Chains A and B, each alone.
Chain A
Amino acid sequence: MLTRDYLKYVSDIPTATLQELMEEHGQEVWNYAYFLTKNVDMSDDIAQDVFLRAFLHIASFRGQSTVRTWLFSITRNTAINYRKNAFFRKVTLLEWIHSASSASSAEEQYMSRTFTDTIWQLVLKLPPKYREVLVLDAKYELPLSEIASLLRVSSGTVKSRLHRARSKMKEFMKEVERREG
C-alpha cells in the first residue's frame, strides 16, 4: 500500500493524486459505504462525494491518522448525513418493507451472488452498529483505538460491540450449519 504522508503538508490535491487516491482506496470506501447503508446507489453517491470532499478539504488532513482512516471518517459522516436525510430514510424504509415482504429483493439476490464468500451474507444480517465494528476489525484490521476514534465512542463500547458482533456471527453460523445439516 502506498503511503501518502506528504498529503498532510498540502492544501491542494493534484488531479493525478486524486486519481491515485481513488484507485487505491476507491473500492474500500465504496465497500465501507455499502456496509453502512446496504444500498448500492447510495454507496455510489457516497463514495464519489467522499473523494470530492477529500479533494476540497485536503487542508484539514493533518496526518494524525492514516489516509484510509481519514477517508473512512469522511465516508462515515457522509453516510450519516444521507441517513439523517428524510429522503434516504424514506427510500430505505420502502426498500426494507419491499425486501421483507418478498423475502429478498432482486438487488439483494444479485449482490449476494457477487459475494466472494457466503460469510458476507451473515455479516450484512448483523445490526448496523455491530456490522460496522466487525468490518473495521476483521476486514480492515483497524486498531481498537482507531475504531473508537472513528466511531466516536469509547474503546469499551467498541469491545462490547465487537463481542456481541462475534457472538451473533457465531449464532448465525450455527444456524447455517443446522440448516445445511
Chain B
Amino acid sequence: MKDNKPEWYARMKRGPFEVTKFDSEMMRKVEERALIDRIKPRKKRFSPWAAAVATAIVLIGVYFLVPKSSLSYPDTQEVGAGKSEMTAEYVREHLKIGMAQEDVKNIFGNAAEGQSVKRDFAQPHQDDPNDMRTWTAVDIWRYDYGVGEGYSVHSDLEKDNGFDMPGIENGNIESQLVIVWKDNKVERAFYKYMSSKGLESTQIGPAIEDFPDTEPPISDEAKHDSEYPSLEVRAIGESTLGKFELRPRKGSAEKIQPLGAPSCLGLDTDLTITGDYELFFKATAGGESLIQNYEALEIIQKENKAIMMQKFDFPKVELYLFIPRYTDCHGLEFYAYGIDKKTGEASAFTFQEGDNAIPYWTTSPMVLPTQLDDQLVVEGGRFAGTDGATRYRFQPDLNKHQMMLEGKEQIP
C-alpha cells in the first residue's frame, strides 16, 4: 500500500497520558500473584485418560487418608452464615472446565442452588458460545458465601446471570460462585466478590484456558476464497437512462469471507467482502464513464450476489443510493449517485453539511432513507445512551451534484 502517513501521526508518538498508569504498585501485585503461583505445583497437560486415571487415584487416596470433613471446601456448614473462606485464587486453582458435577461437589460442597432457563427466540437464532444471553438453555449452580444473618438471596438469571448483585454490593453476601453447565460438565464459571477496590470478578472459561497462540492464525480467508468467487459486478443501479455497475478494480479480486461470529454487524454466516472498486455508468445511449473509485471498501451482505442500489425519482434527477452493509450496530454509510433526466449524464452526489461536502451520509439500519415529495428523508443512526436520533431532509441539487440539507429535526 502506498502509505503516506498523515502529519498528525507525529502527535500520537507521545502519550496518551503524561503520567504512568501502570505503576510500581501494580507491578508488586503481579509479582505477588506470580509468586503464589510459583509455589504451587506446576500444572502438566495430561491426556484426558491419564488425567481421569490420575484424578481417580488421587480421589481414592484422599478418600481413605483424609477425614471426610475436610474433603469439601468450604465445609458446607460454613456456607450461608458468617465469614466465608472462599477466594478467587481457590476458585481459579480448583475449578476446571469439563469437571463433572460429582467432582465439583467434592471440592465446593453440596450447598449449591440450581437454576435453569430455556429461551425461545422469535427469529432464527444461533447460540454464541461466548454470550450466555444467546443460549437457548442455561443450566447453572450457584454457591453463596458469607451470607449475612437473616438475609435471603435473590438471584436473577435473566438480568444478572444468576448473581444477587444488590446482595454482593450491599455486603449481604460476601461472594458468589456461579457455575455454568453444559452436558453435565463445567462449561464456565464466574466468581464475584467485593474488595476494597469495589466489585471484583473472576471468570473461568474457555477463553481463559485457550491461551492465545503466539502467532495467531490468519483468518480463514485463503480457505474461503475459493468458496466465494469474486463477482464481476458487485452492485447495480438500473435505469432507463443507463446502468450503474460497481466492479472490482481491473486486475484485482474481492476478498470474501464469512463474518465468523454473530454481532450487530451481522450473522456469523454473513459475508465480509473487501476490495478496491470502480463505479461505472453505462449509458443507454452508448458509452461508459467512470463515476467513482473506492479504496478498500468493506461490504457486508447475507449472500455473495450483486447489491441492488435503491432508486428514488426526483423531478430533475434519478437518485441511486448504494449501501455497502445491510446492518450495523448504529448506522449505515451510504453513497448517492444521480442521473440527469434531461441529459442522461450520471455523477456522484456529495452531502452538504455546513461548508463541507461529505462523500457519504449515515442512515439508521432500521429505517432506511425514504422520499417525501422532492426531498430525501434520512433518519440518522442511534447510539447507546443517546435519546432519539436526528432526521435529515435533503434535496438534490443537480448543478452542484450535491444533496443539500434542507432541514433536520430531533426525533424520539
Instruction: Using CB atoms and an 8 Å cutoff, list the residues of chain A in contact with chain B.
Output: 15, 18-19, 22-23, 26-27, 29-31, 34, 40-41, 43-44, 47-48, 51-53, 55-57, 60-65, 70, 73-74, 76-77, 80-81, 84-88, 93, 96-101, 111, 114-117, 119-120, 123, 135, 138-139, 144, 148-150, 152-154, 156-157, 159-161, 163, 166, 169-170, 173-174, 178
Contacts and interface: CB of A to CB of B under 8 A. Distances in A.
A43 to B, nearest CB: 7
A122 to B, nearest CB: 9
Contacts of A62: 214-215
Given A29-B22, A52-B33, A156 B132 contact: no
Nearest to A159: B296
Contacts of A48: 26, 29-30, 33
Contacts of B33: 48, 52
Given A73-B216, A77-B212, A115 B30 contact: no
A87 B201 contact: yes
Nearest to A83: B130
6 contacts: A15-B34, A26-B27, A55-B34, A116-B15, A119-B11, A154-B219
B272 interface: yes
A161 B215 CA distance: 22
Nearest to A74: B212
Contacts of B275: 156
B294 to A, nearest CB: 10
B22 A156 contact: no
Given A27-B22, A84-B207, A153-B219, 11 more contacts: A26-B22, A26-B27, A47-B21, A47-B26, A52-B30, A56-B34, A96-B384, A114-B17, A115-B17, A120-B12, A156-B296
Give the 9 A-B residue pairs with the shortest CB-CB distance, closest first.
Answer: A116-B15, A100-B385, A26-B22, A160-B296, A30-B22, A120-B16, A97-B385, A81-B207, A138-B12
- Chain B interface size, under 10 / 10 to 19 / 20 to 34 / 35 or more: 35 or more
B124 interface: no
B50 interface: no
A31 B34 contact: no
A154 B385 contact: no
B13 A139 contact: yes
A138 to B, nearest CB: 4
Contacts of B203: 81, 85
A22 B22 contact: yes
A178 B353 CA distance: 12
A156 B21 contact: no
A19 B215 CA distance: 24
Nearest to A47: B22
B390 to A, nearest CB: 15
